[in-house]
C-alpha cells in the first residue's frame, strides 16, 4: 500500500465533509479566503502525493501544489460543473502542471 506524505496543516482526504463543490467555487470566484483555504485543505495533500509520484522529489511536489493553486486562482471563473466535477478540474489542472514540469 502506498503511503501518502501529508503537508503541514492538512487533513486526511475525506475525513470530514466539506461544503458543496459549487458553493465552494462560487465563493472562491469571489476571492473568499475561507474558500481558498478549504480548497487547499481538500486538495493539496493529494496533489502533493501525485507530485511526489510523478516528479520524484519533495521540492518538485511542493512546487506543483503552488503552481496548481496559482493556476486555479487565475482560472477559477472558467470552472464549469457541467463539464467537470471539482475533483476532475483540480486534478486535471495539477496533472497538466506536472506534465509541464517535465514529468
Query: How many domains is the chain partitioned into structurally?
Result: 1
Q: Does 4 fall in a domain?
A: no
DSSP calls for 24-52? HHHHHHTT-HHHHHHHHHHHHHHHHHHHH
Q: Given this model, what pLDDT does residue 20 score?
A: 86
Q: Does 13 fall in a domain?
A: no
From the list 13, 16, 24, the residue with the least C-alpha distance to 72 is 24
Q: Domain range spanning residue 92?
A: 21-100
Q: Is 10 helix (H, G, I), strand (E, B) or coil?
A: coil
Q: Does 34 fall in a domain?
A: yes
Q: Does 81 fall in a domain?
A: yes
Reported as a pLDDT band with limits 50, 70 and 90, residue 12 is: low
Tell me the CATH number at 91: 1.10.1740.10
From the list 62, 43, 67, 41, the residue with the least C-alpha distance to 51 is 62
pTM over 0.85: no
Q: Does 70 fall in a domain?
A: yes
Amino acid at each position: 500500500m502506498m503511503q501518502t506524505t501529508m503537508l503541514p496543516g492538512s487533513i486526511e482526504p475525506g475525513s470530514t465533509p466539506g461544503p458543496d463543490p459549487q458553493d465552494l467555487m462560487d465563493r472562491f470566484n469571489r476571492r473568499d479566503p475561507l474558500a481558498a483555504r478549504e480548497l487547499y485543505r481538500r486538495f493539496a495533500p493529494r496533489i502533493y502525493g501525485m507530485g511526489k509520484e510523478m516528479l520524484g522529489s519533495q521540492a518538485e511536489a511542493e512546487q506543483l501544489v503552488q503552481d496548481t493553486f496559482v493556476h486555479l486562482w487565475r482560472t477559477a471563473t472558467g470552472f464549469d460543473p457541467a463539464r467537470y466535477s471539482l475533483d476532475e478540474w483540480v486534478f486535471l489542472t495539477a496533472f497538466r502542471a506536472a506534465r509541464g514540469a517535465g514529468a
